[in-house]
Amino acid sequence: MKTSMEKLENSRVRLTVDLDGEILEKALEEAYRTTGKKISIPGFRKGRAPRKIIELNYGAGVFLEEAVDLLLPRAYEHAVKESGIRPVDQPDAEIKHVRLGEGAAFLFEVDVYPQVSLGSYRGLKAEREIVEISEEDVTDVLKKQQEQSAELVVVDSRREVQKGDFAIFDFRGYIDGQAFPGGAGENQTLEIGAGQFIPGFEEQMIGAKVGETKEIEVTFPEEYQSRELAGKKATFQVTVKELKEKSLPEIDDEFAKDISEYETLAELKEEIRKNLEDEATRRTEAELENRLLELIAADSEVVVPESMVKHQTEHLLTRILGEAQRQGINEETYLQLTGKTKEDLQKELEPQALTQIVHDLILESVAEKEGITATEEEVEKEIEQYLNFDSQLDPALEKNMREYWESQKDSIKLSLQRKKTAEFLKAEAEIVEIVAANTGEE
């Protein structure tokens, strides 16, 4: 086989593979041994007719299609190896010609891993934000934990619903005087003022009395997930059965003991502060890394093929839908809640996907130029850290996890190389540190 390569636009190449008559003949013979067993010829047992007899009866090219099917993947594999390209997608294949006794020629077009024309990456100037964690930040975390530890207690001192109450109620809804599917429920619990129900419903619940029935009128939003109800006016008959309110624990040493491994509130607050500082550092370091990569990208040239962006976009969307699934929201519901199609989301994710690809390509290019890599010892150390994360692992489970991480060595090595390259870029940059307000984002 002989291979020639032509570079096309947008990181795409065309490979031409020429095969001589001998290679084609061997493929025809192989096709005969496979397909000939299924052919019946009068005077011969099924599958025992000689190849020449079959070709006389069915034509000289009877095995040609099967032979080409055998040769195409072999020719492509040979062409990839000989040309040294790194394909990022499946190729488009075309038969240029097939001539019995002479040979064949195939054409393959495929997107390849982009080449980076790397710009300046030393001595870059960028800012690193230093986030100072305040006492208020720590208190905010404690208040969230306090809310999570709250208990609901029955309200005996009054009978009227107030904002902030948890009302337990029965309801029955009507549209144009007719009950509708899903419009009734019993012993429902609703936090009044939390905005969890149809707009206007919770506000009208305020003032309702336990044991009495109140009529509430609302209009379903135009973008309501049930198309049959969207934009419709409805009347609900609501009977409040019981009122509850949150009972918040005191934030003190006992609270610290209940929700953590610490004996005192001071120790818990110190741990919270450390976690906030660690998270802020991770966030600001990631932002600094992105700033540096954006500067390098602006001075570099890289053409990313569409197929590569498509694959990365699909990966991002799969991750988003997977996260929603873990929160109990299936794909159909997620799309209804966002009011978008999968195609809409993919279109929105394309710029992010392209940026991620370019940044990864730049890091790989810098690593190659500077000889940055991860050693076998570093990879093994990383695996041990994964396994030691839970020291109480069952031996059988630990064995399975070790086998899994061993199978991921290439991706671990690439991840470590990426981290080391990012640290190299930071070390080579002129970094100005500025104090920034903590946004509280995690």
In this predicted structure, what is the pLDDT of residue 441? 46
The whole-angstrom separation of Cα 414 and Cα 406 is 14
In this predicted structure, what is the pLDDT of residue 315? 95
Give pLDDT tens digits for 238-263.
Answer: 999 999 999 999 999 999 999 999 99
CATH pick for 2-113 out of 3.30.450.40, 3.30.70.1050, 3.40.50.720, 2.40.30.10? 3.30.70.1050
Residue 301: CB atoms within 10 A of its CB come to 11
Spans of all domains in the chain: 2-113, 116-149+258-303+372-442, 151-247
Stretches in the chain below the pLDDT threshold 50: 439-442
In this predicted structure, what is the pLDDT of residue 390? 58
Whether pTM exceeds 0.85: no
Q: Where do the H-state alpha helices sit in 48-91? A: 51-58, 64-83
The strand pairing partners of 235, in sequence order, are 174, 217
CATH pick for 151-247 out of 3.40.50.970, 3.40.50.300, 3.10.50.40, 3.50.50.60? 3.10.50.40
- Token readout for 67 is 């032979």
CA angle 285, 291, 296 (to 5 degrees): 130
